[in-house]
Amino acid sequence: MLQPAQLYCINSDCRQPHQNAGNKYCQACGTPLLLRNRYLVRQKLGSGGFAMTFAVWDFQLQRDRVLKMLTETAPKAIELFEQEAQVLARLRHPGIPQVEPDSYFQVASPQRRLPCLVMEKINGQTLQDLTEQYPQGCPPEWIVDWLRQAIDILQLLHQQQIIHRDIKPSNLMLRQGSGQLVMIDFGGVKQLHSFAPTSSTRLFSPGYSPPEQSAGASVNGTADFFALGRTLIQLLTGQSPAAIEDPRTGTLHWHSYAQVSPRLASLLDDMTHPDPRRRPPSAEAIRSRLLPILDSYTRTGATAAVAIKQRRSIKLPNLGRSVLWMLRSIWWMVTAVFATLWSTVLAAIGAIVGTTIAYGMAFYTDWGTNLIAWLSQQLSDRSPSFEIAIGVDLLIFALAGWGTAWGLTAAGGLGQRRRIWSGAIGALAYSIGWFSLHRVQPEGATAGLTMFAAIAPPLLVLGLGMTRYALLRSIAAIVAIPPCIAILAAHSSATFSLWQMVTTATLDNWTFWPCLLFFGLLAVLLAACLSITHYLLVPIVDWLIHPSASRPRSRSAAHR
């Protein structure tokens, strides 16, 4: 190796860390530059909350290494740092940075002693880097491959009674060339005398650590499974855990962002269950469930190592990157348009089916009349002052709402859930809208139907089970749908027959088609509104709330 033109002082308090080659000691603070007569510090790689990393040349092994220097002076921090050195020194696995038994030492500086740990330099990139290169998510084949490798590493750690406790995208690297997954940053490891849960020093990474670890409670190996599962879900979907977490249950609603096999989805859901008792109990249990998944995915496409290597070798120019970005955008638009069309078709079909069933009950059976008579009697008994006369038109509105909600939920793709409950709430929402319509009946068809559109669709949206930004979607329905219905009511003769049915509470064959037209069109408007909100407004709000997820980060390829 040629002697570098400059050396670097590892003392974090040094004001002039850049030093001329040939100096044995820093000319500014007196800290040694050649450590243990073996390591020559070449440059600073990065710094975190408790440590700094440096590139060093190992004269004995004649290769580049990484030196990690602890900047925190608290006794507990030093204890954890020494523990990290001991753990790494006795572990031998290609997925763990190699550390020699004598790689931990302290360097004397004028101010204090500097704890240092020299370890293997991992050339490659972190999985955090891949979240920035693949914002729409990585292929499932890569996720399965990384899960297999990570479980191999965790099985070794857990057999040695070691819990990593800080698995996240930035602490997982891929070796350049081979694509071997490497777990780094063992500064937070917990040694157990047994695999039973035990108390531990409070250490957690928001979004990745399990609830029991974040609360400072006892943890076991399932904490690593939880963090690994959340890491892989982020890489699979392109969504940060915080953006898709249900604040009430602590689960992630990620299935609409990625298409994977049911077995893989079930395994990731179990690994990230908030209750540690519901997670897989061991790495071997995960491996047994992973084997059939591996068989299905290893036959489809290249591994992550090959694909990433090919990506690097291409070295796309700016024009090529722009074309790639444009193709991805076009694919996203095609997907969004198809999902929107599918939602509008099923919502319209649901509304038409619900309306048709209601007409059938009213015209060809006594069920509709008997049901309305019973409901009218119940309201009269409980509220004698109730002035609105209930007719079979209420049944039309209720079943139209049921069909619309059922169709929207059946379409999927927008985060809808609870098909049965959403149908019931859809019927309730349209019934409430029917009552509000009668409150403004003297104002005419335009005011009445506009009032209905301002109340019923937003309430229906709240019943679809959308856990992310449900209120935003409901507000969007309030803003967008009533003006469209007002224009329709003011300029369409079809609304006259519909309004006549509402005001007279009578049904005939002439009102059937206007009802189909009105409720079908309303379902189409609602589905379109939900799709626009899902594909445009929700990402904008996500970006505003989590701007750091979309900012480019400057990071060294060397591990911390």
Q: Using CA atoms, how far apart are residues 20 and 282, in angstroms rounded to an integer?
A: 52
Which residues are CB-contacts of 255 (< 8 A; sequence separation ≥ 6)? 265
Q: Which is nearest to 526 in space by CA: 416, 366, 390, 444?
A: 416
Query: Taking a C-beta distance cutoff of 8 angstroms, is the pair 183, 171 a contact?
Result: yes
For the chain, how many helices (H) and strands (E)? 18, 13
Cβ atoms within 10 Å, residue 556: 15
Q: Using CA atoms, how far apart are residues 44 and 12, in angstroms rounded to an integer?
A: 11
Q: Is 366 a catalytic residue?
A: no
476-483 CB contacts, 8 Å cutoff, 24+ apart:
476/529, 476/530, 476/532, 476/533, 476/537, 477/526, 477/529, 477/530, 478/454, 480/525, 480/529, 480/532, 481/453, 481/454, 481/457, 481/522, 481/525, 481/526, 481/529, 482/450, 482/453, 482/454
Q: Using CA atoms, how far apart are residues 412 and 292, in angstroms rounded to an integer?
A: 27
Backbone angles phi, psi at 25, to 5 degrees: -130, 155
Query: Taking a C-beta distance cutoff of 8 angstroms, is the pair 44, 53 a contact?
Result: yes
Q: Which is nearest to 126 in space by CA: 318, 308, 265?
A: 308
Query: Taking a C-beta distance cutoff of 8 angstroms, is the pair 471, 459 a contact?
Result: no
User: Which of the residues 58, 166, 185, 542 is marked catalytic?
Assistant: 166
Query: Taking a C-beta distance cutoff of 8 angstroms, is the pair 88, 97 a contact?
Result: yes
Q: How far from 264 is each of 27, 180, 270, 353, CA to CA, in Å?
A: 58, 21, 10, 36
Q: Using CA atoms, how far apart are residues 329 and 348, in angstroms rounded to an integer?
A: 28
Q: Is 141 left (phi over 0), alpha (psi -120 to 50) or beta?
A: alpha
In 3-state terms, what secondary structure has residue 97? coil
Query: Taking a C-beta distance cutoff of 8 angstroms, is the pair 222, 279 a contact?
Result: yes
In 3-state terms, what secondary structure has residue 389? coil
Query: Taking a C-beta distance cutoff of 8 angstroms, is the pair 86, 100 a contact?
Result: no
Residues linked to residue 25 through DSSP beta bridges, in sequence order? 32
Q: Which is nearest to 66 in space by CA: 4, 120, 1?
A: 120
Based on its alpha-carbon atoms, the radius of gyration of the chain, rounded to whole angstroms, reads: 32
Q: Which is nearest to 116 in space by CA: 46, 58, 51?
A: 51
Reading the block at residue 254, the tokens are: 């990620």
Q: Using CA atoms, how far apart are residues 460 and 452, in angstroms rounded to an integer?
A: 12
Which amino acids are annotated catalytic? 166
